[in-house]
Structure 1
């Protein structure tokens, strides 16, 4: 496949456990497929078992194609080690159930890629009462990371958490009193702003986590995959301005394919050069800098406490003892 040689040439084994949320479509699909083709065992966590199984079948077919072409970096295994586990980030109970299932079957986790997300969704609230982009993009992943960190801390050297954020964080604001957008009507709800906020929070979480993990084997980094043509656009097809923007981006050849968008995720997750790298915001496979608002430590800690308060029903005392270190 064109462009495969630009990926890091890494040989992994099935002892290397990788978890990717939203790994059945778009950027997540390509990320899961290529890391699995490097030899790792990959778990894709998403809502639909049917869609996940179809995605895995497609991965296997494409794997055969890559092997027949002797694509560099592709392992020689007979079949890919990819499996499905159910996770619905719109439900914190689902996140909790997922973690219990994961811990019951897995003793190691080396890479956690928080990839699932929704963009510019209209105003809607989850069963937990949170604005849907806030929960799917940020809070659900916050809970997932927190609950899986003990396993990662016990999984040997060079374990990585990768938060798939967005350049939309540049258009964000920070006001936790309005974080859920309930002061808006459906008509006045600013979809780009709240999407950008959810992506800003991911980057802020990166800094907060690294302060608490800075002497451990676990690193946390974030990234902007670029303007990628994926199913994420389905939530804002009614917004004419964005349809025009995406159309213009295609004409100007600024948009990326899901594979091109996934390259930054793959690189951040497995490139040996990035061992011990923390607080990086990757873009086009290179380390860049997030905006000043994202780097504000006082606001990062305010968000940290707000998030813990949001999750008080799901975080046990031992979770809080760990989280409040530092």
Structure 2
């Protein structure tokens, strides 16, 4: 990607999401909060802010409802805050149970919650934290909500949407770079859970690689008739994500951000383009800025394809421990 990011055009006029219900994960700040704002500005009737910190979510809710653009465009908007901690499968399932008890329709699911920590930690599930938050819990959330997404498509006569915040950083994965290859007999999830595989500055890219491999295998199993699933990369955006870096790295990164980072508003345009503008051609595709793009070379390599199949099968086994998986989710 060039140092100076190319310009991105605003969304087309006339987008109306009136009557639609959307869930945005990681919506208390940053890109997630902006996605929620832009959905509301386009008349989404109900927007669920799925957040780990409910107090911060309530603050975000009040801020959204106070925006003049939202008050003018959508004075009757319903904005709800719901607890969702993607470090924990139990929290994902509690969230979906509560949502399904209260809502019979879901038009848009925006999987935006994500982290990029530099310290190796395991969650209660036994998986490495970045992998759990950025990959595994998002798969579970999507599978739990897929029936209501499909039912909504039947009612409306058009596909519901799942849009995943991805990253070009999948190409910087330690696996893609050959820094820590899979050992003979090693599983993909086991590899990334192990201490030996943890490369701090590659782990965010590792987790995003898993997301993209899953998405590309998904196209072999799930059609776009009822649900269109895609992933987008907004480029470098002026958010607080670099705050997790040590000070000696945070300062130069923040300087670079000041020069080249896109605004939060622009990131929102890119997200909504993937969620509501592009059509079935985007199903299980990677969207860079606002165009369908090729993934990093590793994804299409022989090793990448092997890992993709392994990851899919391991994910099927993982999800089978938690839910009754849909019939189409057969092993590769």
TM range (shorter): 0.7 to 0.9
1:61 aligned partner: 66
1:155 aligned partner: 152
Q: Tell me the SS of whatever aligns to 1:323.
A: coil
CA spacing shift, 1:220–1:65, aligned 2, 3 Å: closer
Q: Tell me the SS of whatever aligns to 1:282.
A: strand
2:141 aligned partner: 144
1:324 aligned partner: 330
1:209 aligned partner: 218
Question: In structure 2, how many angstroms separate the alpha carbons of the residues matched to 1:256 and 1:149?
Answer: 32
Question: In structure 1, how many angstroms separate the alpha carbons of the residues matched to 2:66 and 2:309?
Answer: 46
What is the CA-CA distance between 1:205 and the residue it aligns to?
A: 1.6
2:170 aligned partner: 169
2:26 aligned partner: 22
Summarize the alignment of residues 1-326 of structure 1 with structure 2, pairs less than 5 Å apart. 6-40=10-44, 41-62=46-67, 64-65=68-69, 75=73, 77-156=74-153, 157-172=158-173, 173=175, 175=182, 176=188, 177-183=190-196, 189-214=198-223, 216-236=225-245, 238=246, 240-241=248-249, 243-250=251-258, 253-271=259-277, 273-295=278-300, 296-316=304-324, 319-324=325-330
Deviations, residues 46-66 of structure 1 (Å, cap 9, x unaligned): 11221111111111222x256
Root-mean-square deviation (Å): 2.3
CA spacing shift, 1:109–1:210, aligned 2, 3 Å: farther
Question: In structure 2, how many angstroms separate the alpha carbons of the residues matched to 1:148 and 1:213?
Answer: 14
Normalising by structure 1, we get a TM-score of 0.86
Question: In structure 1, how many angstroms separate the alpha carbons of the residues matched to 2:21 and 2:139?
Answer: 20
Contact kept in structure 1, 2:231 and 2:284, CA below 8 Å: yes
What is the CA-CA distance between 1:217 and the residue it aligns to?
A: 1.6
Question: In structure 2, how many angstroms separate the alpha carbons of the residues matched to 1:117 and 1:302?
Answer: 23
What is the aligned residue count? 306
Normalising by structure 2, we get a TM-score of 0.84
Q: Tell me the SS of whatever aligns to 2:282.
A: coil
What is the CA-CA distance between 1:11 and the residue it aligns to?
A: 3.7
Question: In structure 2, how many angstroms separate the alpha carbons of the residues matched to 1:162 and 1:65?
Answer: 24
Contact kept in structure 1, 2:238 and 2:257, CA below 8 Å: no
Question: In structure 2, how many angstroms separate the alpha carbons of the residues matched to 1:215 and 1:256?
Answer: 31
Question: In structure 1, how many angstroms separate the alpha carbons of the residues matched to 2:79 and 2:8?
Answer: 20
Contact kept in structure 2, 1:212 and 1:325, CA below 8 Å: no
Contact kept in structure 2, 1:153 and 1:216, CA below 8 Å: no
Contact kept in structure 2, 1:8 and 1:267, CA below 8 Å: no
Question: In structure 2, how many angstroms separate the alpha carbons of the residues matched to 1:13 and 1:193?
Answer: 38
Can you give the 5+ residue segments of structure 1 that lack an aligned partner in the other structure? 69-74
